[in-house]
Amino acid sequence: MTFLGGIWRVLVGIKDALALLFLLLFFGGLAAALSLRGATVKVPDGAALVLDLEGALVDQATPLSPLAAVDGGLPPEIEVRDVTRALEAAAQDRAVKAVVLDLDGFLGGGLANLEAVGRSLQRVRRAGKPVLAYATVYFDDSWYLAAHANEVWVNPLGTVALSGPGATNLYFRNALQKLKLDVEVFRVGTFKSAVEPFTRTEASPEAEAADQALVDDLWRAYRDGIKAARPSLDLDALVKGWPARVQSAGPDLATLAREAGLVDRVGPRLEFARRLRQLVGEGDDPDRADDFKRIGLPEYLAARLRDADREAQVAIVHVAGPIVDGEAPEGQAGARSVADLVERAIADDEVKALVLRISSPGGSATAADVIREAALAAKAAGKPVVASLGPVAASGGYWVATAADRILAERSSITGSIGVFGIVPIFGRTLAELGITSDGVGTTPYSRQPNLIEGLNAPARDLIQASVENVYRRFVNLVAQARRLPPFEVERIAEGRVWSGLAAERLKLVDSFGGLDTAVAEAGRLAKLEGVIKAKEIRQPRSLFDQLLAGRTWVRSPVPDPLGLPAHAARLRLAVGVRSALEAATGPWVQARCLACAAFAAPTNPPSRALARSALR
């Protein structure tokens, strides 16, 4: 007993020591953040604005818990509006002499967001300020941003690895059969491929044709963006001839990238830092070879844009992440939470117009309708509403957009998916394997229905199918009324098919092209505002911890080597795909969701960070 008691005391001591260590780390970080928060940030004269884009570029970052902040292991998230606002300010800021893009840990952000940042980088260059980019290896998203720089640097051990848009979807039919799990699916339309992962082992010909048309449009938008940034570069010819170039170049892929015009300079980080010291001068520690006069993104935002949202006339409300019923934190579009933000904009006398920034693959149809009704209330209060579509604004996301006076999208936005489906999992065979059976009594054909153990009877199946068809008809009619199109014409482009912004504009699903800044300007025009139009985001109240953590790099990406970025991003997208399938299978029985859209958004998983963590380890 004495021996066991000693072991117990040791275990308790270890537990107490770990708890004490956690508290010391937490409160130490809290104290540091408080001191930083209260300090006045100054921009060094002639400094470089350094955008260390480690992690994913998102429309709305997910708040972190204290435990997640200390534990780390999850990819950071950078809000795209922070980046574009900083670049717009830097273009006019005499204290900023250059802009630096550090892209070694950049996981991507959806092409629509990349286009927005690219336009802001072009404004910096037009202001006569050089933009320099550095990475060990450039992949599609990071090179798109780098292509907008005056000087693109690559590490001697690296290269540019372009793959082009593509998507891999998961299909669960065989796995469900092995688990003896049955899934009843209900849908309307040929192209509502969201249910195919549960019914097939591969994409249907219709879904494959639609997906191919989508990625072709995305690749066209990508090439056009590169052409605008680097007119002399023939990307089509370069990609076509790249395998032969690699074979003839041998191991020196960095030099190959330079000779092909994909990068401008090959050199290690120290040489890149020396180049920056020539441009902007030495930093606070001249003895450090890699130091130069700089200011980071969080510090620059604090110094220049702390009070920029005061007296704003246009409110921005985000509909970001899966659309769910009730309340939800940022990173998910909880219907009640988003509607509350819209109501705050309505009650604010300073706000004259509203922009809904939609970055969502959809979700609950009833939740989407709650948000739509809130937007209609804003219009009824005399405040014009403009929808700004992000990288993905499909299905339930587009349902919300139908409330707007105008819908703007990037050419690479993914939208449409005007379709509805239902999923009811049946667990009877699975439970029977465990020796569990069921029985019961009822009074009507609908008693004990829907029965998730014994399955659906014909009346229940007919009722759910009728519900799906009813919601689908409502969706089609909403689009027809909002877009002033005959219902038969909406039917032709609906049925759950996903479209690029390029196609959506041609099909009259969107009014024009443009990012969030264009949407703000359009909202101001509709509200008949004059002069410089100020916009502010209306967001959920943040806890003290969230406010202190904002802009602090406490959580670092778990990628140890830039060469591992593709695998890292692939694991994140796999986690997103699995989560989307689980949400579809366990969520509302009638949904307006684009399951395939996850492959084209930023490679992060805001609503389910625990799942993202498990995918990384």
Interaxial angle between packed helices 365-380 and 458-483, expressed in degrees from 0 to 180 and rounded to the nearest 10: 30
Interaxial angle between packed helices 80-92 and 297-304, expressed in degrees from 0 to 180 and rounded to the nearest 10: 60
The catalytic residue positions are: 192, 395
What's CA 577's distance to the chain center, in Å? Answer: 14
Cα radius of gyration (the chain): 26
CB 359 within 8 A of CB 324: no
422 three-class SS: strand
Whole-angstrom distance, CA of residue 329 vs CA of residue 608: 12
370 three-class SS: helix
What's CA 27's distance to the chain center, in Å? Answer: 31
Q: Which residues on neighbouring strands pair with residue 591, listed in sequence order?
A: 364, 421
Residue 544, φ and ψ in degrees, nearest 5: -60, -40
Whole-angstrom distance, CA of residue 131 vs CA of residue 153: 11
N-term to C-term CA, the chain: 39
Strand pairing category for 314-320 and 353-360: parallel
Q: Which residues on neighbouring strands pair with residue 186, listed in sequence order?
A: 422
Peptide bond into 450 cis (omega under 30): yes
Whole-angstrom distance, CA of residue 598 vs CA of residue 600: 5
Strand pairing category for 55-58 and 106-108: parallel
Distances (CA, A) of 346 to 216, 315, 350, 352: 41, 9, 10, 8
Beta carbons within 8 Å of 182's beta carbon, 6+ residues apart: 176, 425, 426, 428, 429, 455
Q: Which two tokens stand for residue 468?
A: 């799906």
Whole-angstrom distance, CA of residue 357 vs CA of residue 78: 16
Half-sphere exposure of 22 (CA within 13 A, CB side): 13
Interaxial angle between packed helices 235-249 and 205-229, expressed in degrees from 0 to 180 and rounded to the nearest 10: 90
Q: Name the strand (E) or helix (H) holding 71.
A: helix 66-71
DSSP-H helix ranges across 484-512: 487-493, 501-506
Residue 2, φ and ψ in degrees, nearest 5: -60, -40
Q: Which residues on neighbouring strands pair with residue 292, listed in sequence order?
A: none
Whole-angstrom distance, CA of residue 509 vs CA of residue 482: 9
Whole-angstrom distance, CA of residue 114 vs CA of residue 103: 13
CB 360 within 8 A of CB 580: no
CB 600 within 8 A of CB 216: no
